[in-house]
Amino acid sequence: MVTNKLEVDTGKNDIIKWALAGLLFFAALFGFYYYDEYPLIYRVLGIVGIVVLDFIILFNTEKIRNLRVFTYDARVELKKVVWSTKAEVIQTTLIVFVVVILMSVLLWLLDKLLGAGIKYLLA
């Protein structure tokens, strides 16, 4: 029961963090256009600062933590994969190429035979 309460609290905290990040971002956009009398560099620096603050807030949410764990695990699994050698890739590509050519010739022949059969039946 305690873990459920903890998960609910984490979810509420995450919702608050996402909402705060969204509000900050829209406030930055509003401020960028509202304070158009100030030099562009100051307005851009303000947006960059708020976006950095947004990333700091969002990187502390549970979803982003889960995403970081997932990407780490994916990298670990990627290192375990046995990749094909260049020779194997070339051989497989050539086999696929030959099979495609063979099938296209067979389908062309089948089309010609069926076309000739239809012409014979209709004539």
pLDDT digits (tens, 9 = 90+) for 9-61: 567 888 999 999 999 999 999 999 999 899 999 999 999 999 999 999 988 88
**DSSP assignment string, 69-85:** HHHHHHHHHHHH--PPP
pLDDT in tens, 49-97: 999 999 999 888 888 899 999 999 999 999 999 989 999 999 999 999 9
Half-sphere exposure (CA, 13 Å, Cβ side) for 43?
13
Helix (H) or strand (E) holding 23: helix 2-34
Query: Which of 6, 12, 4, 2 has the alpha carbon at shortest distance from 61?
Result: 12
53: burial class by Cβ within 10 Å (0-12, 13-18, 19+)? middle
Tokens representing residue 72 in the block: 């780490």
CB-based burial label for 102 (10 Å; 0-12, 13-18, 19+): exposed
